[in-house]
Structures are given as structure tokens and as C-alpha cells.
A = this chain, B = another copy of it.
Amino acid sequence: MVGATRGFSRYASTPSTGAPGAVAAIGTSAMAGPTLMEVIRGLSGSNVETIERGKTIFFPGDPAERVYLLRRGAVRLSRVYESGEEITVALLRENSLFGVLSLLTGQRSDRFYHAIAFTRVEMVTAPATSVRRAIEQDASVGLLLLQGLSSRILQTETMIETLTHRDMSSRLVSFLLVLCRDFGVPSSEGITIDLRLSHQAIAEAIGSTRVTITRLLGDLRNDGLVQIDRKKITVFDPIALAKRFS
């Protein structure tokens, strides 16, 4: 059991705690130039904003004028329906770009999504016009943005894989593995998901109900695959967990 650390790197992202002042680059490329974070920070009209957990960053229908780059914390993008139901479209991790879409698909437009701070959030923002100008002046900025969007697409598409699993047990397992990849920090016992997740939040993300999540998480815990302490989930062994697919 102890020796099975090979392959874990897929699940251990850049730690989100500690590492003060370290501005991680998007992806894993060890580039020479400035990071996207530094570029956006340097734009005219740029800003650093801090948002408390649970507060809204933008509502659907708001005018889309700024671009956001997440520096610390997690953001939830969701669609809201008339029924009041809210569907999580993406859980963004650090160094994720968002709010970019509407600006680049052409004409000025409004937000589609509801963006709320899933944890306390620190982010760098800049006006869309500045970003556009920066791309035109320096092609490497375009490349950085492309990398950001690419990783966002990958993130989104693994979410689709998760959601197409038929039975809820598989969905939950798949979702936990995604969370390990995006928010996992290695710990003494395994990989801890650095988010405070309520069962309700998980249910909204994978299209289930609170009760079912409770039961399934209980099963996983009873089988010694995960540990839950004050809303923090620790996965002992992602590989063993992955065997749990139906």
C-alpha cells in the first residue's frame, strides 16, 4: 500500500496553501517569459480583488466587461433556472481564466453564468479591452491565453466524462478524482481535497440529490477509501478509488 505512489502526480496539483509569493505558471511548461498572471496584473485598469466565500462575482445578465484570473481559492460557475435549480458547470481552480468567453466570441455581450466564490477568493482582473490590446501588441500574450483556455477545456471535458457515467456511484468516484486532480494537496494519509464541500454542493455538481450523496459517501468511507473530516475529503488512494467504477 505504501509504495504505491507512482502515478499520483496526475492527482496532486500545485498546492494551494503555503508557497507564499510563488506565482505558478499555467500548465506545466517551464517558460522563460512572464506568466499570464504577471501580464494581466500589468495591464492598464488591472485590479486585484478579494471576495469572501459565498459572495457573487457576477450574475447572469451582467454586462461582460472584465476578464478574471483566479489567484487563490475556487470559483463555481453555474446556470440558474427559473425553477430555482442551480447547475454547476465548472469548479475553477487557481490559475483558471474565466469571464473570457463572452468577450472573445465577438460583439459585446452579457454573462451567461452565475459566478460565486466557492472559497475565499483572490483574483486578478482586467478590462477586456486592455487584454485585447495586449494581445495585439504582444503575440506571446495570446499564446498564454490560449494555454489558459486549453486547460480550461480539458478540465471541462473531464467533467463531461464524469457526468456521462450512468450510475451515481461511478459519477461520484469520477468526480472525486477530478477534484483530487484540481484541488488535491498531498497529505500524510493520501490526497486531501482542499475544499469544504457540502453534500448538497456535490449533488448540484453531478446532478444528484443530497441524500444519495450522503449514502454513497458513507459507503466509500465504510470501505476505507476516503475519510471525511469537517467537510474536507481525503482520498487515501486514488488508484484504489478508481477501481470503484461500476
Give me the interface of A with B, judged by CB distance under 8 Å: 27-29, 77, 79, 87-90, 100-101, 104-107, 112, 132, 135-143, 145-147, 149-154, 156-157, 159-161, 163-166, 205-208
Contact = CB atoms under 8 A, between A and B. Distances in A.
Contacts of A143: 104, 132, 135-136, 142
Given A105-B147, A153-B153, 9 more contacts: A27-B106, A88-B164, A89-B157, A90-B160, A101-B154, A141-B142, A149-B149, A152-B153, A163-B207
A228 B208 CA distance: 31
Contacts of A29: 105-107
A150 B89 contact: no
Given A139-B136, A207-B166, A156 B146 contact: no
A154 B157 CA distance: 11
A205 B166 CA distance: 12
A234 B246 CA distance: 35
Contacts of A141: 142
A135 B145 contact: no
Given A136-B140, A150-B149, A152-B153, A164 B207 contact: yes
B104 A146 contact: yes
A62 B88 CA distance: 33
Nearest to A82: B245
Contacts of A156: 153, 156-157, 160
Contacts of A135: 139, 142-143, 146
The 10 closest A-B pairs by CB, nearest first: A142-B142, A29-B106, A164-B207, A163-B163, A27-B106, A149-B149, A104-B150, A139-B139, A87-B164, A27-B105
A49 to B, nearest CB: 23
Contacts of A151: 105
Contacts of A139: 135-139, 142
